[in-house]
Amino acid sequence: MMQPAPSAPFIMTKTGFLLEIQVIAFDPPALRHNAHTRLESGLEPRHKRKAPENATDCAKPYQMLQIGLSRPPPAGCTRQNVQNATQSRLEPLVHLKVDGRSLLAAYVAGWETETRIARGVNFHHYEKGWHPTATLGVFGAAAACAHLLRLPPEQTARALALAATFASGLKANFGTMTKPLHVGHCSRNGLLAALLASEGFTANPGAMEHKQGFLLVFNGAGNFDADAILRDWASPWDILQPGVAIKQYPCCGSTHPAIDALLMLVRTHDLTPAQVERVDSWTHPRRLAHTNRPAPQSALDAKFSVQYCLARALLHRGVSIEHFEGDTWRDPDVQMLLPRIHAAPHPEMRMDTSEHFGAEVRITLTDGRALVQTVQRPLGRGPENPLPVDLLEAKFLNCAQRALSGKQAHTLLAMLHGLDGIDDLNQVTGAMLPDAP
């Protein structure tokens, strides 16, 4: 039963305190003796510095979170504005020395914040048309950055309140450039929220449960459970159970169960496209709503077409990023297969369940035989069905080598495997540069 929101600003403030506890729970021993990450410039920690008089003053020194990404000048400032500011006012830049374990701890902080809010708003939030990766991801990004900045609870609450205002992303834009933009947009906004909060920018810590706040505006009365957001926090950690879902294929996750089922049949029976008369795919109606696209009109549209993804799996015994580049969606072999592939909602999969990543695939052969395969969850979705390390590494290298040499990609992979032992993340971000040694 959906519960009303608390009457007082509680959720974001409580989350701020819980995230402060996570600093102790996850950070290395050295950081437990120091409440704030060392500032290499020798300036005071952010939460002790006086807030700027004007948040958009181009002459004010803007900070850089030195993990390979720099904060741009405030909105409305041109490069010339900044160059014209006196050098003494632009320096020194504030540097945060971030190690691998601190980044991992921040990731956990962001993860728990985002998934906890998801507990309170889904699945109504998702089915209404919001894209949770963006609308909830902005809270995760804000929490992670607040953790890295070592913001105290009250500033973390304000960062989350800012994130509530920045939240956006519509499923109507699936299959276009805007869908992946959601991810970068929410990440940028989460960082901006934390930086603004660190400088004293104000926001309502009750923006989650306010009568005109996130819960009621995004979900509507009776369509959320505010109590679920904080109930049983860290018992267990969400990152452990239900755990991380890692996508094996570079297309919409809702297509993955059907891809896995079809590939099991193709590999087990050594099938070729010439042997296939018809393919029937049944997936959860929640997942089919945005992936039933029998005739995709672009490479991005094809990422959300279960029919296209199954055609590629049948043709190539796998689905890779090459299948969604340029005009590959026009491939004549794929176009010939598409009319043979049919998708429908599974009649036995209910909407009132959290188990919504199953699929059933039936392949009817030209000799009249029918082969059927069912999967409950795709490979990589949760700790009970993890994506094997070799497949994960192959996916990473396939993506990384579009920007890096093979040697650089393997070097970066090795660094990521040992991330918890990295003293300075500049080593990692430096290795991501195409011209890195």
Q: What confidence tens digit (pLDDT) does each residue in 332-375 have?
A: 999 999 999 999 999 877 766 666 688 999 999 999 999 999 99
Q: Which of 1-5, 120-124, 178-182, 303-307 has the lowest mean pLDDT?
A: 1-5
Does residue 68 carry a pLDDT above 50? no
CB 358, CB 261: distance < 8 Å: no
What is the structure's pLDDT at 22? 56
pLDDT at 80 over 70: no
The predicted structure's pLDDT at residue 216: 97
pLDDT band at 112 (very low <50, low <70, confident <90, very high): very high
137 CB-near residues (< 8 Å, 6+ apart):
114, 182, 183, 186, 187, 190
Q: What is the pLDDT of residue 44?
A: 35
- The CATH classification number of 11-37+98-238 equals 1.10.4100.10
Residue 83 has pLDDT above 90, yes or no: no
Specify the pLDDT at position 23.
47
Compute CA distances 125 → 117, 139, 209, 251, whole Å. Answer: 11, 15, 15, 22
- Residue 267 confidence (pLDDT) above 90: yes
* pLDDT tens, position by position, 100-111: 999 999 999 999
pLDDT at 365: 98
The pLDDT value recorded for residue 353 is 67
Answer with the residue of higher pLDDT: 332 or 60. 332
Residue-level pLDDT at 5: 53
pLDDT > 70: what percent of the chain?
A: 78
Q: Is the pLDDT of residue 131 over 90?
A: yes
| pLDDT higher than 70, residue 88 | no
pLDDT of residue 49 exceeding 60: no
Dump pLDDT digits (tens) for 15-30: 776 776 554 444 433 3
pLDDT at res. 11: 79
pLDDT of residue 148 exceeding 90, the answer is yes
Cβ atoms < 10 Å from Cβ of 434:
8
Instruction: Quick: pLDDT tens for 396-432.
Output: 999 999 999 999 999 999 999 999 999 999 999 999 9
Q: Cα-Cα-Cα-Cα dihedral of 391, 115, 101, 46, to 10°?
A: 140
pLDDT at 162: 98
Distance CA 373, CA 113 (A): 37
CATH number of this structure's domain 253-375: 3.30.1330.120
Domain ranges of the chain: 11-37+98-238, 253-375, 389-431
Model confidence at 43, pLDDT cuts 50, 70, 90, reads very low
pLDDT tens figures, 281-318: 999 998 899 999 999 999 999 999 999 999 999 999 99
pLDDT given at position 230: 93
